[in-house]
Structure 1
């Protein structure tokens, strides 16, 4: 297959943890992949550069370094490449950092998504998949989280900006007929992960003999989702293109908009894991017991997350399956290799 006959995918945030893995999968599936990443210094830029270098070894991958919120940058990228598929992963991430530096979330998440939607309006792709977050469910204590639940009580500015991008995308889907799927993902972990995430911090601390911070005194649970499971869900959703429903009639249990080719889908493991069980998996994988420092809950955090993944299964026939022990073991193996520990 030549570049001229390969479908083209545009992936924003291509040097990110999830972005790199999504690019690898699309390349393996025969796509020509165009990436863009700002290489922001929110965490180790060398890790991001290593991810791009890994992708550059694949035939069909090109990328540019730049900020998606820069006016016209994405417009030029769309004009030059006319992508068939768009996977929008670029964002300022992190709950805690949104308290310290909220402006960066306005720029990357709101302005960046606006620039993406404008470029797509001018050069419509066949399908757009935009990343949202389980944090959009906010203060809701009704679990598991279903896409049809009300989600208006976000607990952090990060979550608020991601929920806002859902509303922005819906308006463009309605006004311009752009097929858009928003996917809310749940505590993703795995090789090449982010240094600001718990698994990375736990592994580094345990292997260097430093204490790990356990928030809410361990009374927390998360729907930990292994990276390969998330990527599989995204890849299958790419083929589940939403259509504006005839007569505004939406099937029961579907989050499809009655007025737009727009849908929100959870991608999670579908089972909450207690934080202390997760810690024990890291201890088992490293072969060391952690020194634990128990602390109060952090501002903006929630005690539990749990995804109802029945809509993902109904649309794609897929349900994530990787057990935490297996996924954590793979991460620790990668960490030891990458950092020569």
Structure 2
């Protein structure tokens, strides 16, 4: 399986948006290990604790706290800075938060992407841009079929719709501006990511960890729902391998799915939660249905094109992803260093074949 290439990343000037978030912090740590010079651009962390703070990510990067919804601030922050590659991960990522604040979600995920791409048009040395969207960009009719890259975009909640709209924004900027400049601009659609250091509101693993620490009970709205569970290292590895290909191969696809391994069994929310609470020694979860929920019950994505084109496939199945995740939280609770735990798992992951 393809892995991020240190020889490619060493010395590269990388703009990473969303570096203060959960996935962004893992990406920042891995990129710096690979030898890249990382500039991070994002809002300050919106929860406590935050992996960004625990792992000292600011000290590893040139960290800029900027709101992508404010185009003048983005232009000012990036003025005079040159980049070889851009990994755009900044977003409002929570479905229920998007229902509470749909306008703010569209402002962050759609206009924030547009503001960034507009500013990047002035980058003379740019080799490639990869914008991260979501497995939820597809029009989901609950058939249970895994979505492929050519399926129709859609979204019945504001988060999903905002990510589908971001896909169209990226395509329009690529065709109108970046293609003419010879700069590939693409999107990556990742599955439901789990891993150590996720403390976000309304995220399954984070909720289980919080409940366990408080000796409480995790409440599940849809234990029967299925999701394409993926460890954060599998997801980030796919993004980096894709960005490498974009920078070196003009014929690379302009959209790819990243999700669980081919042939892996679908794992429900309830099954994942059971494995997680058992690993932490926490109390069993409880089901409380939400009659007003419009979240999809079935969601799967087909990552076959990434396997075919990039030679990339997730290394961890869902049970292993849960085990690695809970190991991280247990080791941290036992006095482990957050940055060291991330680096140890990256080293372990890089050794997998």
Q: Normalising TM by the smaller chain, what interval?
A: 0.7 to 0.9
Give, in angstroms, the shift of residue 116 of structure 1. 0.6
Aligned to 1:250: none
Give, in angstroms, the shift of residue 284 of structure 1. 2.5
Matches within 5 A, 1:180-259: 180-196=185-201, 197-216=203-222, 218-241=223-246, 256=253
Q: State yes or no: 1:284 paired with 2:278.
A: yes
Structure 1: distance between partners of 2:45 and 2:240: 26
Aligned to 2:101: 101
> How has the CA–CA distance of structure 1 residues 84 and 198 changed in structure 2, closer, same or farther, with 3 Å as cutoff?
same
Aligned to 2:153: 151
Give, in angstroms, the shift of residue 49 of structure 1. 4.7
Give, in angstroms, the shift of residue 18 of structure 1. 0.7
Partner-residue secondary structure (3-state), 2:99: helix
Contact kept in structure 2, 1:138 and 1:302, CA below 8 Å:
no
Aligned to 1:16: 21
Structure 1: distance between partners of 2:213 and 2:52: 24
Give, in angstroms, the shift of residue 57 of structure 1. 4.3
Q: State yes or no: 1:325 paired with 2:331.
A: no
Structure 2: distance between partners of 1:57 and 1:291: 38
Contact kept in structure 1, 2:21 and 2:45, CA below 8 Å:
no
Contact kept in structure 1, 2:52 and 2:58, CA below 8 Å:
no
Partner-residue secondary structure (3-state), 1:96: helix
Partner-residue secondary structure (3-state), 2:80: helix
Give, in angstroms, the shift of residue 327 of structure 1. 2.4
Aligned to 2:12: 7
Aligned to 2:39: 34
Partner-residue secondary structure (3-state), 2:219: strand
Aligned to 2:350: none
Taking structure 2 as the reference length, the TM-score comes to 0.82
Give, in angstroms, the shift of residue 181 of structure 1. 1.7
Structure 1: distance between partners of 2:317 and 2:21: 23
How many residues in Structure 1 have an aligned counterpart in Structure 2?
316
Task: Pick the aligned partner of 1:269 from 260, 263, 270.
Answer: 260
Partner-residue secondary structure (3-state), 1:266: strand
Aligned to 1:55: 57
Give, in angstroms, the shift of residue 146 of structure 1. 0.5
Give, in angstroms, the shift of residue 305 of structure 1. 1.5
Contact kept in structure 2, 1:191 and 1:335, CA below 8 Å:
yes
Structure 2: distance between partners of 1:158 and 1:138: 13
Structure 1: distance between partners of 2:78 and 2:66: 14
1:237-283, Cα deviation, whole Å (9 max, x unpaired) = 011218776xxxxxxxx9x4xxxxxx111111144312222122113
Segment drifting more, 183-192 vs 101-110: 101-110
Aligned to 1:248: none
Matches within 5 A, 1:23-172: 23-39=28-44, 41=46, 43-44=47-48, 46-47=49-50, 49-50=52-53, 54-58=56-60, 61-123=61-123, 125-142=126-143, 143-152=145-154, 154-172=155-173
